[in-house]
Structure 1
Amino acid sequence: MADALWDDDPSADPTAVPGGLTDPGWLVCTDPDSVLALLWSSSQPQERWVATVYRASLDMHRRLTAAERRFVLALDAARLEKEGLAAQFAAVAVPGAEPLGWEPAWVRGSQADSRLLWTLTGHQGQVTAVATAVVTGRALAVTGGRDGTVRIWDLATGREACPPVQCPTDARSALTTAVDRIATATLDGREVALLFSELAGEQRLLLLDLATGALTGECVCVVAVAELAGGSAVLTLEDDRTLRLWNIATGEELGSSVPAQLLAGPHGYPAAVRVELGGAVRTWDLAGNELDSAPVDAAEQAPDPQAAALVVDGRLVACAFDALDIDHLRDGDTAVALLGDLAAACGHRSGAPVRVYQSVAVAGLPATLFREYGGSLRVWERVAGSRPGAQGWVVTTGELRGQPLRLPAKDPGEDGWFWRLADPAPALAADAGNSAASVLGTFVVAGRALRLTTDADHAVRVWDTATGAEVGERPFAGHEDRIRAGALAEVNGQLRAVTAGLDRSVRLWEMAGGRQVNGPLKGHTGQVWDVATAIVDGHPVAVTAGADHTVRVWGIGERRALRRTGIRSHEDVVLTAAMTTIQGRPAVVTAGADKTLRTWDLADGIPYGGGIAAEVSLMATAELDGRAIAVTAAPDATLRRWDLGTGEELGQAVAGPVGRVLALATARVAGRAVAVTGSSNGTAQMWDLATGQHLGQPLTGHTSRLTALATATVDGRALAVTGSWDKTVRLWDLATGRQLGEPLTGHADWVTSVTTTTLNGHPIAVTAGRDGTIRTWSLPDGRQYAEPLPCPTGPVRGLATAALDASTHLITTNGTETVSVHDLATGAELVPPLRCPAPVQSALTAPNGALVLCFGREIAVLSAVGGQASALGGAGSGSVRDADQPDP
């Protein structure tokens, strides 16, 4: 095992405990579930920091090898500003694996947060709803979203408590229910989740038993209520057009629903219904009379295999069928016609279609009907949430799970489709009742019922529902977009609020003083849709649901957060990066979706200046009159030049080539600094960086869009290498503007990436295609240099090269979180895959061999172990943004 974990924290305990949180080798090589048992019990400062680092990517550790985990732990330590820990994790020797090769030097824009406890992954779509509950002493979270699944998580272990629950599929539309909201409650002594959704224009509610993880039933649509056969009966409609008649008093089903065939009259409107009962075919007209034969000609019969009929005691009383052209109903909706005795009992004309409702009045009170799967009908009274009697479910809420029941907000008295599980709260004070206010939820904390609201200015307020008075000194202000959800919790005797919004942030507020606690909770890479709170092993936590397909669990009890450098970074995804030199020091330039350019000293990550405002899709760097400059291409193909030392724009913006700019590189031609652009019209164009004017005629030859571009100097001659959707690679003499030789063929699909380097002292171009191959080409003569190599993990989006330990390393990215490193000569894996916490947008090497990775909003610089690496890439990275995707 390695030495004790020790970094720049003077309070750290240097004493190693073999097999414990201070043993880096054990942490790297041990099964994560064995480490998990120690994370909650860490007590010493150093142990707590190590536990924080380990939790940052705990969801990844479980599916990684020890060699891959080594890099993730080192990177997360650097993201949390523990560079000493990062170096020690990187130095761990993993049996059977090569040394890491690079170790994290610094990270800027880190989204790692010391308060993150778990990242729960499994949903394949946006997670839109979350609620919490306690079942048999375990704190659980229930989540649902756009993938049509509901998942139950054990918050103490970060694992799913049971297999995912697949939501039902609509029988008519074949669409799967997507859960919009979730609430938890205690029903008949069982902990359950109520799943709210809307499908095919109809609102639905499902019930999930949290102890078993099984769906137990759903609310049903009501067609009619009538006094029939001496008692109250209700007719319900299910999504597959099944009709059921129930005795409200007993919950038992009356009659039977059977498939039916509709017989059309002269104008296509249903005239009769034909069913098969007991092996005999029977036919009724729409007055409910049984017929000896069909009243229409056989040629006009219109079978509808999805029609249904309800037969009670041998009599037809209702049928359901496609609405067709019926007034007030849409095609595809279900029309229900009441016949005979049932129509008369409801006061309807026999055979006339009736409306379908989602609630019903029982004993004069509004109620919702719920059908158990395989069981009877239940009546849920909508005012108080329970109905006395054998068929009424006792519904209770409380603080057992840290958060009481929260239902979608409805105005008191509004005829919503759901019921209320608590008496409506008194109206808020007049200044809180404005139309712009939105209720995030009502919560019971320390015996007080409190309501959380937000307004059009994204401010959050808390109100006492008993008095209508505002709680707290001032509203919480900080969100930059609409707030989607919020929750309240008691932390160390103080009231705290957690809010989540479309600005992708989760914020923690302290009621006393209305202050934000330790800045936003960082981690989600998409909008945050819902939030709930819970108590786990005595610790208060918040659970958030995100559009990034993840559920995240945060500790909200600590007042202290990890220190931050205070260096401002990108506020959105980093799109691309390039190397340059400023004042004689290597630097990296990054362009973000936040429309800024930022320049960083490669050695220590200190930025130059405050950033440059620019919308960038592609970028390259060059030297012009002794100044480091960046040339950028905007989405509208406009080219701009920027002085990276001063942040000033050089000259005027230049109208770029016709079509989108899909590739960009720089070169020096006859002593002149130039930019070369590749366009969606299949041409390349040179531009004078001093004047902004285009040089010569476009380089033509490709028959489809030009998607990859790099430059190199060979025997004093400036060359460009281009790749295209036409599956060819072409070489160009930039001094003459002529193509060199014939097109280089071999790729069987689009060419997506290109870079230039040397292999065994020979100048070559390296290209990658959507055909899953990497090919090398000799730049002096245009011949294929070696046998093709397979792409390591799918189509390559980016290429870079570096020399390390006397071999040429090929670094590839494919739009995922993985960076692969292989020997360019043999294709052998030289370093285990480097896993990042977000998709890698750019990877490039520096002159000193450092490796720069841009993932999400973060920029990480990895230094070569032993300092033996050197960059071999050409003057242009040839990076292509979405080059293999069609135009929208």
Structure 2
Amino acid sequence: MGKFADRNKESPAKLKAFLGNLETLVSEDRKQYYEILTKFDFLEDKINHYNFGVEALIRDYFLIEDLEILNNLEANEKLDSEKVKILKLIQRALELSAHVLNQDPNQLIGQLWGRLQSFPQLEIQKILADAVQSKSETPRFRPITASLTTPGGNLLRTLTGHNSFVLAVAIAPDGKTAVSGSDDNTLKLWNLETGKEISTLTGHNDSVTAVAIAPDGKTAVSGSDDNTLKLWNLETGKEISTLTGHNGWVRAVAIAPDGKTAVSGSDDKTLKLWNLETGKEISTLTGHNDWVRAVAIAPDGKTAVSGSDDKTLKLWNLETGKEISTLTGHNDSVRAVAIAADGKTAVSGSDDKTLKLWNLETGKEISTLTGHNGYVLAVAIAADGKTAVSGSNDKTLKLWNLETGKEISTLTGHNDSVSAVAIAADGKTAVSGSNDKTLKLWNLETGKEISTLTGHNDWVRAVAIAPDGKTAVSGSIDKTLKLWNLETGKEISTLTGHNGWVRAVAIAPDGKTAVSGSIDNTLKLWNLETGKEISTLTGHNGWVRAVAIAPDGKTAVSGSDDKTLKLWNLETGKEISTLTGHNDSVTAVAIAPDGKTAVSGSNDKTLKLWNLETGKEISTLTGHNDSVTAVAIAPDGKTAVSGSNDKTLKLWNLETGKEISTLTGHNGYVLAVAIAADGKTAVSGSYDNTVKVWDLQTGKEISTFIGDSPIYCCAVSPDGLTIIAGDSSGRVHLLHLEGG
């Protein structure tokens, strides 16, 4: 992370003043400052009541790194290594949570429990215990297990602010700031030490797809789908000039070491060399047969390497504008390229899911780096030339040893394609940009995070809780289901057999069996006691997206991409009837408590109420403005709640087919909904990373939990106090609702 610019200005006097302020805030006698810094009341007060903000609190923790202060502490105030370790863990947990706490300081308890409870240190456990005892006027979520990213791993911070995909990123030479470009047509300048946005640069009329910072760190050049490049003054945030000449989207840009010229690559199949002082084009480099996606300039400023959709890289002489050589070997589009500091080697990334290391003097491939499961969209080489970092649409970054061609580690945390990456000059940190709209700051030297309740290797798309509230089942696009012990948070067993993503799951009323639906077009009936498959139900002609089991446990209803619902006899595994009427995929289904009716939701934006005895449609419920993704029926069978991609939930009167109210508050698609057994509250999960609890009588939000990834599914225990939710990282969150 580096040190704050004024760190060395701190003094023992500053520390004593700081301690004095803490005495006033928490009404405590003076203690060793590690004890005060780890006191939960202080954490909560500093963020909530005294308006210092989480960044100020994080900064206070840097006092433990100030040698001048530490050397002047009295003997009885000296810190041992274990106390420093504890302080750093708390500080790093706060850094990981900063973007959440800046959004909602009331998330402090959930964030600390979600990140720290795996650590056994007594001081940390005391903080968590104090957190539980702290008073709350409203209900709040407390994670039962450490299901958020824990401190000590590679991820340091998450930077939020863009409204769309982050497509480009560059780090300033001093390593303190970075510039990002986004599909929201803007660039943002960031302070990497605080994670705060410094300024927003506006002027482009379309997506900003490329950015480079000049060696002096004072200016930057961006490329855009508006066919232009812009030169920016980073100190003022103002545009200096616009560079025009390309006839297609500008996909790549690099600035020469002297800061006077730049090279851009475009969908018009050309590269252009620009004079940044005049804003004029110097020359056009032609030779590629398809879009130019990537470009890098060698340290001597005389040559450049480009990558193209024509599957090749080309080495160019910038003084003559002529092609020197063509590098062939990739089997698909070349999306990224970086040149090592010695100018002799380069690394490229491709849609063929590989990276290649090249000898630029011979034009020959040195080695191929394999490991990504998706397109390689970005690559950067560390200053020492020994390691590289790549980003992929498999949502991961990988750190590579270029000397051996082997993967060193995988960095996980993004929820969508990683489209940009840059490494700081010291080689210790990297910044990535993603289609999840965030940037993340990584420590390339650390180990892995403490294990969390993950279990699945990919998105968790379905969850259900058994009637006794003691176990739950989750389904994932890793093709498996898992049975969980809700009291311990431990996995009991893994159920395998599907040949495609598991998109739906329901547990029978006796808690002994479950039914799952998959994109392999089948449903499977499982024995939860043995973990074995009982039978496979076939008949759908499309992905099975939803399933519900009737109260008697003898029948089930499924919904599919084939636009139908099917009623099944679970004892025979045979189809009873097919319900037709929707005009698009059936994405959700729930059965009423009497077992006689069901409600379905569809991508056609409607819900339908069905008579299961006749197989006929009773009514159509309209009001959502986008796909209906989830539905649940209240215990009295008279009302239902639906969730939609229009970011709202709706409460419906099933007797009249009319909307009662609309529940607003989510900032992303609502992907899941469940109703508590008392029928008074509902729980929803959303692409905005949140789980929300709602009062159905008032339509008001009661409590929110903010996770690290989009929430795709949720279920609530019979007592309404335990919520299980699955997210796109593969994590399963067990949340306890308490307080208020």
**Taking structure 2 as the reference length, what is the TM-score of the superposition?**
0.71
| Whole-Å separation in 1 of the counterparts to 2:126 and 2:466 | 29
State whether residues 219 and 370 of structure 1, in contact with CA within 8 Å, keep that contact through their aligned partners in structure 2.
Answer: no
Q: Helix, strand or coil: the match of 1:106?
A: coil
Which residue does the alignment assign to 1:882? none
Q: Distance in 1 between matches of 2:685 and 2:361?
A: 58
Which amino acid in the other structure matches residue 851 of structure 1? Answer: I
Displacement of 1:860 in angstroms is 0.3
Preserved CA contact (<8 Å) 2:212 2:221: yes
CA deviation string 1:512-552 (max 9, x = no partner): 766544x31111111222221115xx782111122222221
* Aligned partner of residue 166 in structure 1, secondary structure: coil
Deviation at 1:861, TM superposition (A): 0.5
SS of corresponding position for 2:93: helix
Q: Which residue identity lines up with residue 594 of structure 1 in the other structure?
A: D
1:114 aligns with 2:153: yes
| Cα RMSD after superposing both structures | 5.3
Rounded to whole Å, the distance in 2 between the matches of 1:719 and 1:579 is 22
User: Is 2:712 aligned against 1:841?
Assistant: yes
Judge conservation of contact 2:722–2:737 (CA < 8 Å) in 1: yes
1:823 aligns with 2:707: no
Report what 1:586 is aligned to: 470
Deviations 1:412-443 (A, max 9, x none): xx999998499999989xxx975669673113
Q: 1:522 to 1:42 in 2, by over 3 A?
A: farther
In the alignment, what sits opposite 1:45?
Answer: 85
Distance 1:723 1:764 in 2: 15
Q: 1:622 to 1:59 in 2, by over 3 A?
A: closer
* SS of equivalent residue, structure 2 residue 457: coil
Conservation of the 8 A alpha-carbon contact between 2:89 and 2:152: no
Aligned partner of residue 25 in structure 1, secondary structure: helix
Corresponding residue of 2:482: 598
Q: Report whether the alignment pairs 1:621 with 2:506.
A: yes
Task: Specify the alignment match of 2:391 in structure 1.
Answer: 500
In the alignment, is residue 149 of structure 1 matched against residue 189 of structure 2? no
| Aligned equivalents of 1:410, 1:522: Cα separation in 2 | 28
Q: Equivalent residue for 1:452? A: 347
Q: Quick one: distance in 2 between partners of 1:436 and 1:859? A: 37
Pick from 74, 80, 98: which aligns with 1:58?
98
User: Which residue does 1:91 correspond to in 2?
Assistant: 132
Change (3 A) 1:80 1:161: farther
Contact persistence 1:22–1:50 (CA under 8 A): no
* CA apart distance, 1:554: 0.8
Asked if 1:124 corresponds to 2:163, the answer is yes
One-letter code aligned to 2:708: P
- The match for 2:291 is none
Deviations 1:533-592 (A, max 9, x none): 115xx782111122222221112233x333336x873232211111238xx993222222
1:55 offset after TM fit, Å? 2.0
The 8 Å contact of residues 166 and 435 in structure 2, kept in 1 or not, is answered as yes
Aligned to 1:687: 568
Output the amino acid matched with 1:802: A
**1:453 Cα offset (Å):** 4.5
Structure 2 counterpart of 1:575 = 461
Residue type of the alignment partner of 2:714? A
Deviations 1:809-868 (A, max 9, x none): 3223454323322334444544x32222222211111246421011222210013549x9
Q: Could you give the per-residue CA deviations for residues 145-178 of structure 1, whole angstroms, max 9, x where no partner exists? A: 33322222222222223222332x4xxxxxx3x3
CA distance in 1, matches of 2:486, 2:345: 51
Q: Distance in 2 between matches of 1:459 and 1:357?
A: 24
Q: Which amino acid aligns with 2:109?
A: R
Relative to its length, the structure with more helix (as a share) is 2
Counterpart-to-counterpart distance in 2, 1:548 and 1:164: 20
Q: 1:113 and 1:745 mapped to 2: Cα distance?
A: 50
The correspondence for 1:211, drawn from 203, 217, 235, is 235
The answer on whether the counterparts of 2:633 and 2:639 sit within 8 Å (CA) in structure 1 is: yes
The alignment covers a number of residue pairs equal to 648
**Secondary structure in 2 aligned to 1:718?**
coil
1:118-156 deviation per Cα after TM superposition (whole angstroms, max 9, x unaligned): 22222333222222223xx67221222333222222222
- 1:427–1:745 Cα change, 3 Å: closer
Percent pairwise identity: 21
Residues 630-673 of structure 1, C-alpha deviations (whole Å, 9 max, x = no match): 323334753332334445433344103x777564210244xx62
- Give unpaired runs (5+ residues) of structure 2: 1-21, 24-31, 66-83, 250-267, 286-296
Q: 3-state DSSP class of the match of 2:382?
A: strand
Alignment partners' CA distance in 2, 1:506 and 1:705: 34
Letter in structure 2 aligned against 1:480: N
Of residues 357, 372, 378, the one that matches 1:485 is: 378
**1-side partners of 2:590 and 2:474: how far apart?**
19
1:802 equivalent among 660, 663, 676: 676
Q: CA separation in 2, counterparts of 1:746 and 1:126?
A: 32
Give the equivalent residue in structure 2 for 1:544.
432
Q: CA deviation at 1:90?
A: 4.8
Residue 710 of structure 1 pairs with residue 590 of structure 2: yes
SS across alignment from 1:68? helix
2:487 match: secondary structure = coil
Q: CA deviation at 1:48?
A: 1.4
Residue by residue over 1:738-760, the C-alpha shift from the partner in whole angstroms, topping out at 9 and shown as x without a partner, is 889x75989798976543444xx
Contact kept in structure 1, 2:118 and 2:450, CA below 8 Å = no
Q: Deviations over 1:473-492 (max 9, x none)?
A: x875433334333223258x
The CA distance in 1 between the partners of 2:248 and 2:672, in whole Å, is 52
Report the secondary structure of 2:534's partner residue: coil
What SS does the corresponding residue of 1:207 show, helix, strand or coil? strand
What is the 5 A alignment of 1:502-521? 502-510=393-401, 516-517=407-408, 519-521=409-411
Contact 1:74 1:88 in 2 (8 A): no
Contact kept? 1:585, 1:601, Cα under 8 Å: no
When residues 641 and 515 of structure 1 are mapped into structure 2, their CA distance, relative to the original with a 3 A threshold, is same
Distance 1:434 1:198, change over 3 A: same
Task: Tell me how far apart the structure 2 counterparts of residues 488 and 238 of structure 1 sit (CA, whole Å).
Answer: 28
1:43-442 superposed matches below 5 A? 44-64=84-104, 66-77=105-116, 84=125, 87-88=128-129, 90-91=131-132, 93=134, 97-100=137-140, 102-106=141-145, 114-134=153-173, 139-167=176-204, 169=205, 176=206, 178-186=207-215, 191-197=218-224, 199=226, 204-221=228-245, 368=273, 370=275, 408-409=306-307, 420=318, 434=329, 440-442=337-339
| SS in structure 2 at match of 1:163 | strand
Say which is worse superposed, 138-147 or 765-774, in terms of deviation: 765-774
CA deviations over 1:593-612 (Å, ceiling 9, x no partner):
23332222222333234442
Q: Which residue of 1 is the match for residue 451 of structure 2?
A: 564
8 Å CA contact 1:406, 1:441 repeated in 2: no
- Between structure 1 and structure 2, the one with the greater Rg is 1
Question: In the aligned structure 2, how far is the partner of 1:815 from the partner of 1:640?
Answer: 27
Check whether the contact 1:370–1:378 (CA below 8 A) recurs between aligned residues. yes
In 2, are the aligned partners of 1:80 and 1:562 still within 8 Å (CA)? Answer: no
User: What amino acid does structure 1 have at the position aligned with 2:89?
Assistant: W
Structure 1 residue 209 displacement after superposition: 2.8
Deviation at 1:406, TM superposition (A): 8.0
Write the distance in 2 (CA, Å) between the matches of 1:206 and 1:370.
12
For 1:50, what is the secondary structure of its paired residue? helix
Question: Structure 1 residue 675: deviation in Å?
Answer: 0.7
In 1, Cα distance between equivalents of 2:111 and 2:401? 33
The 8 Å contact of residues 78 and 104 in structure 1, kept in 2 or not, is answered as no
- The code of the aligned residue for 1:710 comes to A
Q: Tell me, what secondary structure is at the counterpart of 2:91?
A: helix
In 1, the alpha carbon distance for the partners of 2:397 and 2:340 equals 19
Aligned in 2, Cα 1:41/1:659: closer, same or farther, shift over 3 Å? same
Shift of the 622–592 alpha-carbon distance from structure 1 to 2, 3 Å rule, reads closer
Contact 2:519/2:542 (<8 A) preserved: no
In the alignment, the residues of structure 2 paired with residue 461 and residue 682 of structure 1 have an alpha-carbon distance, to the nearest angstrom, of 45
Name the SS for the 2:92 alignment partner: helix
Partner SS, residue 111 of structure 2: helix
Distance 1:691 1:599 in 2: 24
